[in-house]
Amino acid sequence: MDKPMRIAITGVSGRMGRMLVETIEASDRAVVSAAIERAGHDWIGQDLGVAMGGSASGVVVTDDIDAALSGADVVIDFTAPTATIAFAQAAARAGVAHVIGTTGMTAQEIAQLNAPATQTVIVRAGNMSLGVNLLVQLTKRVAAALDDDYDIEVIEAHHNRKVDAPSGTALMLGEAAAEGRGVDLDDVSDRARDGITGARDRGRIGFTAIRGGDIIGEHDVMFAADGERIILRHVASDRSVFARGALKAALWTAGKRPGAYDMLDVLGLSEQ
């Protein structure tokens, strides 16, 4: 790529938005071309660099999505499901690639990304770190190798401000385990236990969500049988791993054909 990729960032005042700005500014392969916030936000109309407590950057924070995307090659989006759908539609209109790190999307909301994906590149992942995506692959392989004598539990921990549970990463891991076993996660998922639940049903995949303090992200996949446990684990100690993954995904979109992709495609781990 001769020129740096022009990247628009949504939800730029949030923790991930700020981290994305810092990650992109440190790269010689991309620049922040636009900064987007919701209508009425205090940052609207301010210079992005000044709003972040630094020197002027020349990028003014805006709530005009179409104008922001008109000068971008790709938009990186860690917001909320409803906003993400609107951004996907705007990106498709502008012919701009869309990298989505938003979690908590329902199957119906994800399906609404199908139409935009016929017009532009969409990369969506519940987690964009290299380590987590390797963990997904390991989980699938271990689940395929072990039978139902091994109970599967996905245990995740995040900060006390996270609004969705189980996390998008936990669901990715659950899907991988279910795929490894050749079953549909919706048919075998246990999302909550309380009271007199009775004995565990054979073949179920359980989820436990922990929320507290400033935990960035911890995920365990436990395969438990009589006499032994196998535990696959990933711990994120710095939110920059997600920003670096998102930047990698954004750079990967250059020259790709419209379609729906994920981080396994970006990392060359897809089996397709």
Neighbours of 70 (CB within 10 A): 14
Nearest-angstrom CA–CA distance, 67 and 121: 19
Q: What are the CA-CA distances from residue 67 to residues 57, 70, 247, 268 (Å)?
A: 18, 5, 22, 33
Secondary structure (3-state) at 213: coil
CA distance 186 to 189: 6
Please state whether 100 falls in left (phi above 0), alpha (psi between -120 and 50) or beta. beta
Pull the structure tokens for residue 244. Answer: 């670096």
Q: Which residues are tagged catalytic?
A: 158, 162
What percent of the chain is helix, strand and coil (3-state, nearest 5)? Answer: 35, 25, 40
Query: Which secondary structure element, helix H or strand E, spans residue 99, and what is its range?
Result: strand 97-100
What six digits make up the tokens of 138?
Answer: 């390991």
242: amino acid identity, one letter = F
Token pair, residue 114, equals 């199908």
Instruction: Please state, as a whole number, how many other Cβ atoms lie within 10 Å of the Cβ of residue 89.
Output: 17
